[in-house]
Amino acid sequence: MCLGLVPGILAGPRSRDCVTANADSPTDPVVIAIDGPAASGKSSTAHWVASVLGYRHVDSGALYRAATAATLRSSPSADSWTEGAVLESAANVTLSPRDTSFAPCIDGRDVEAEIRGAEVTQHVSRVAQMPRVRAWVNNLVRDAATRHDVVVDGRDMGTAVFPNATLKVFLIADPWERARRRLTQQMKRRPTDTEIAEETDRIVQRDANDATQTVQAKDAVLIDTTYLTQPEQVDRIVALARAVTHRGSEASSVDDPESR
Ligand code: C5P
């Protein structure tokens, strides 16, 4: 039940220059924006970084997915969807604060499994092209970031949504490797080459569908994770965050939060 509703290769020396500290006020919440294409590991990395730093993770893609799932509930035939109908369904979606994240809910209930399903994935890119749906997501994400230090992930967090983010990171990885990781996570076994090839096609198609809004900010640090382990990429982002926020490492180290 959702409570407390609220409507690899690190670029060299250049990357340090590109990190922008939010100079507005020392007490402004910190915003770490992690963007990148489908299955680049943004969400799991963002969640882990938030846990290590004691921030909250906001997954903007999960909000687009929740709006899609809510619309599927009221109107299963996607052909008839209009922007107005999607927004009406999205009115039932809220963001609920958790220990280390904000979770999207529909009618006050957790929908994590539902929003990751194949049907939602099939239709979400179309919903994400609707300008008023984008404005709705952006408002929810910005609202969450007014109260807490956050790690937000998506496609346009460092550009359209938080142009003054404290730290911006853009994650990329080879499509085959993204497909292999995604399938390994879903299937809990080693995928075959044929399975990886099919998933690579789907990922490349989604990259094309989302190309307009998937933009690397000029001042983002580019991290190619193809040859990095997840602890390595988390470690790099945490180190960058500590450098720009001038907050030390006393809070915790980069241990897998799942293992604690
Ligand atoms: O991150 P994830 O793949 O779960 O996002 C689902 C979809 O939401 C993406 O394929 C994209 O169409 C959309 N999205 C977006 N802008 C964001 C985050 C996600 O357009 N900031």
Say what the pLDDT of residue 249 is: 61
pLDDT reading at 23 higher than 50? no
Q: How many angstroms separate the CA atoms of 108 and 157, rounded?
A: 25
Nearest residue CA, atom 12 of ligand 1? 125
Q: Whose CA is nearest to atom 11 of ligand 1?
A: 125
- Evaluate: CB of 158 within 6 angstroms of ligand 1: no
Q: Kindly indicate the confidence band of residue 247, based on its pLDDT and cuts at 50, 70 and 90.
A: confident
Residue 19 has pLDDT above 70, yes or no: no
Give a yes or no: residue 117 inside a domain: yes
The pLDDT value recorded for residue 260 is 35
Q: Is residue 145 part of a domain?
A: yes
DSSP, res 229: -
Residue 98 lies in a domain: yes
In this model, does residue 1 exceed pLDDT 70?
A: no
Residue 142 belongs to domain with CATH number: 3.40.50.300
Q: Look up residue 79 and give its two tokens.
A: 């052909």
Q: Which tens digit of pLDDT belongs to each residue from 228-245?
A: 999 999 999 999 999 999
Examine the pLDDT at 252 and tell me if it is beyond 80. no
Ligand 1 contact via 64 beta carbon (within 6 Å): yes
Question: What average pLDDT does the segment 67-96 reach?
Answer: 96
| Domain of 141, in residue numbers | 13-259
> Please, which pLDDT band fits residue 11 given cuts at 50, 70 and 90?
very low
State the helix-helix crossing angle for 60-74 and 131-147, rounded to 10 degrees: 130
Q: Which stretches does DSSP call E strand in the chain?
A: 31-35, 56-59, 93-97, 101-106, 109-110, 150-154, 167-172, 221-224
Cross-strand pairs, 194? none
- The mean pLDDT value of the chain amounts to 88
Question: Is the dihedral angle over the CA atoms 104, 106, 110, 115 positive or is it negative?
Answer: negative
Whether residue 250 is contained in a domain is answered as: yes
Per the domain annotation, does 253 fall within a domain?
A: yes
Q: Is residue 3 part of a domain?
A: no
Which atom of ligand 1 is found nearest the CA of 210? Answer: 12
Q: How far apart (Å, rounded) are the C-alpha atoms in residues 163 and 57?
A: 18
pLDDT tens-digit readout, 123-172: 999 999 999 999 999 999 999 999 899 999 999 999 999 999 999 999 99
Atom of ligand 1 nearest to the CA of 153: 21
In a domain, 1, yes or no: no
Q: Would 7 be classed as within a structural domain?
A: no
Counting atoms of ligand 1 from 1, which one is nearest the CA of 213? 20
Structural domain count, the chain? 1
Compute the distance between CA of residue 74 and CA of residue 71 in angstroms, rounded to an integer: 5
